[in-house]
Structure 1
Amino acid sequence: MTIKRLLLGVSASLLAASGAHAADAVIASEPEPLEYVQICQGYGTGYFLIPGTETCLKVGGKVRAEAQWYDPYDPTSDFGTLRRDRAELYVDTGTDTEYGALKTNAILRWEWEEGQSTTEKLLFANISLGGFTVGKLDSQFISYTDYAGNVANDDVIYDGPYELNQMTYAYDAGNGFTAMLSLEDSNSSDNATYFGDEDRAATHDWVTSKEDHYSPDFVAGLGYKSDAWGLKLVGGYDSLVEEGAIKARLDMAFGEFKVFFMGGWNTDGDKLNKYAGTNLSGSACPDDRTDCGWGDWALWTGFTAPITDKLSGNAQFAYTDTKIFAATANLQWTPVKDFMLQPEVSYTNWDAINNDQWSGLLRAERVF
């Protein structure tokens, strides 16, 4: 009996201990509170607060696929169908400071063209604070005036340089009046080799060598915008060529119908410069590229006309003192939000060589 009682006692003790552990297992700690993403209201759509920081972030981009027939920039173009694809990633940040919003903007681009490998570039990278912007973006000579028309081939008649380093101050009075001053890198633009190439300097007196050149280019602008119209004036000085250009643009809106008129004046019609240059190529520009420039002046006009709530028509026409005529028209159809289909046709005529070119384009683009 003694052994039996001892075994029963041990068993009872083990069961009690087991029960205690079982009771401990169901005791759970309090759940951690969830942290929800906070939307930033002050910087526009798409910004959210990075958890644990005071910085707002926006990520977006676009994907584009297109096919092109012939080339509106080149009268000698004879290819059938050229296919291109592009992807871009946009990263923007904003942080409130005692000097205003501290912002950054970066755009990365990957592009594939039929018969070539994929290329990539840092399209934009800039910082802005208190009205000042420093870094890489398109020249203020074109961005301040909102480029040209609402068409893909809007710069067949050159309207200014893209993608260059700059230091810019922009002023907004809040009543429609704006002003801008910009110092722009004379060597960083893709277009700089047209007008500051050392090899061309040996044969053309209107081209200056870029070697050991440190002086920046200068751009300034003034503008006013109301609900129904806007007017902007911008001027650029090319320190390499020591010439420049002035552009004026008038925008008018009649309900949803929008129209613009823009004119440019070259300070020396016998020379090309960064702000009155050329994008044309091929036999239209054999040796003397001034045949492809503005001459003394250039004109642009165009319109956007709504057809339905998802379909619009756009057109642009341009003409120069050198008798280059360019016309482009398209339809932009948005069957669903942020997705666009765009067929476009362009015509260019070069009077100097008595030649012309028709071209077409079909583009599909998704932005996000």
Structure 2
Amino acid sequence: SGPGSPQNYAFNSGIKLTFAWLQLGGLRVGKDWSAFDTFIGYPGNVLNQMAVPYGDFDTNVVQYYFDAGNGFSALASLEEGSGVVGTINSYVPHVVGGVKYTQGWGAITGVVAYDSNYESVAGKVRVDFDVTNELSLFGMFGYGSNGKLNDDATNAIDAHGRGFYKIWGGNWALWIGATYKFNETTSFNLQVSGDQLKNYGLAANVAYTVVPGFTVIVEADYDHYGNFGVGMVGPSNANWTDADKKNSVGGILRFQSSF
């Protein structure tokens, strides 16, 4: 029985606390998602954003956010990480820094992170562009050094080339997408992603707001995994999700109530 049993696919997962922080001015202390993701933004308005992963989330933070009031903002964050690979293994924290410039046309954002466990550096640059009131586009590029992520001889835990920040396959990855608002209640969202190890993803959905606070989302997803069959155990460099097929197609139907 339990989550490790091949016969038991449903089990009680318990209660999970995602956010619990205190803030005074620009200073935030507590449990949050990593600034490596929150400051630069999530890759599009699709539900399946992780065909090519863009970063890890849960962490304790001590961070400071600065807003100059003229479109320029910056952030520095000390983070604990989470999980077997991501949690810091000494008193040295992970470090994240970011800068952003926002104007009426959109925004340019950059973040960089240092993984203190594996001495790996990763960064992402993103451009958001509001073409019209209806159409908005974004493009995000990530690049990370391997550091010691593949150095099994000196690390007790094999990271399979993926750390807390450089979680995509290989050194580089990209995510591009668009949102088109047909009217006040209906929008179309698209995301295309890929990385150096030839992992690719495509997600598209239509979101319809039935009444304020209640939205129905219908999404179709396609995933392709490069080097399929290489390193199939655990979160390997080749196959992030441990899918049992090289190409996978799926769909999501979500009824979302906000209150």
1:119 corresponds, among 3, 10, 14, to: 14
Q: Which residue does the alignment assign to 1:234? A: 111
For residues 284-313 of structure 1, the C-alpha deviation after alignment (integer angstroms, 9 at most, x for no partner) is xxxxxxxxx320100000000012321100
Distance in 2 (CA, whole Å) between partners of 1:337 and 1:167 is: 36
Structure with more helix by fraction = 1
Q: Which residue of 1 aligns with 2:255?
A: 364
Residue in structure 2 matched with residue 319 of structure 1 by the alignment: 194
**Identical pairs, percent:** 33
C-alpha displacement of 1:195: 5.3
**1:266–1:294: 8 Å Cα contact kept in structure 2?**
no
CA distance in 2, matches of 1:179, 1:260: 20
1:234 CA drift (Å): 0.2
Identify the residue that residue 75 of structure 2 maps to in structure 1: 180
| Residues 288-342 of structure 1: CA deviation (Å, up to 9, x unaligned) | xxxxx32010000000001232110001000000100011000100011010000
1:230 CA displacement: 0.2
Partner of 1:268: 146
Q: Take 1:248 and 1:119, find their aligned partners in 2: how far apart are those partners? A: 36
Coordinate RMSD, CA, aligned? 1.6
| Residues 118 and 276 of structure 1, relative CA distance in 2, 3 Å threshold | closer
CA distance, structure 2, for counterparts of residue 121 and residue 351 of structure 1:
33
2:23 is equivalent to residue 145 of structure 1: no
1:298 corresponds to: 173
For 2:236, the equivalent position in structure 1 comes to none
**Residues of 1 paired with 2:69 and 2:10: CA distance?**
50
1:331 is aligned to 2:226: no
TM-score (norm 1): 0.58
What is the CA–CA distance in structure 1 between the aligned matches of 2:145 and 2:190, rounded to whole Å?
A: 29
In the TM superposition, residue 352 of structure 1 has moved relative to its aligned partner by: 0.6
- Find the aligned partners of 2:76 and 2:86 in 1 and give their Cα distance: 23
State the distance in 1 between where 2:13 and 2:173 align.
35
CA distance in 2 between partners of 1:123 and 1:222 (Å): 25
Q: Return 5+ residue gaps in structure 2 as ranges.
A: 1-8, 151-160, 230-245
Q: Conserved in 1, the CA contact under 8 Å of 2:43 and 2:49?
A: yes
SS of the residue corresponding to residue 120 of structure 1 reads coil
Q: Give the C-alpha shift of residue 123 in structure 1.
A: 1.1
Counterpart in the other structure of 1:225? 102
Number of residue pairs matched by the alignment: 222
Deviations 1:128-158 (A, max 9, x none): 1121000011000000011211011112211
Contact 2:124–2:141 (8 Å) recurs in 1: yes
Alpha-carbon distance between aligned partners in 2 of 1:214 and 1:137, rounded to the nearest angstrom: 19
Equivalent residues of 2:134, 2:182 under 8 A apart: no
2: CA distance, partners of 1:130 / 1:345: 41
Look up the match of 1:131.
Answer: 26
**1:144-195 Cα distance to aligned partner (Å, 9 max, x none):** 0112110111122111111210000000001110000000014xx2xx3245
Task: Please report the TM-score for the alignment, with normalisation by the length of structure 2.
Answer: 0.82
Q: Which amino acid aligns with 1:130?
A: G
Q: Write the letter of the residue equivalent to 1:258.
A: S
Structure with the greater alpha carbon radius of gyration: 1
Alignment of 1:31-50 (within 5 A): none
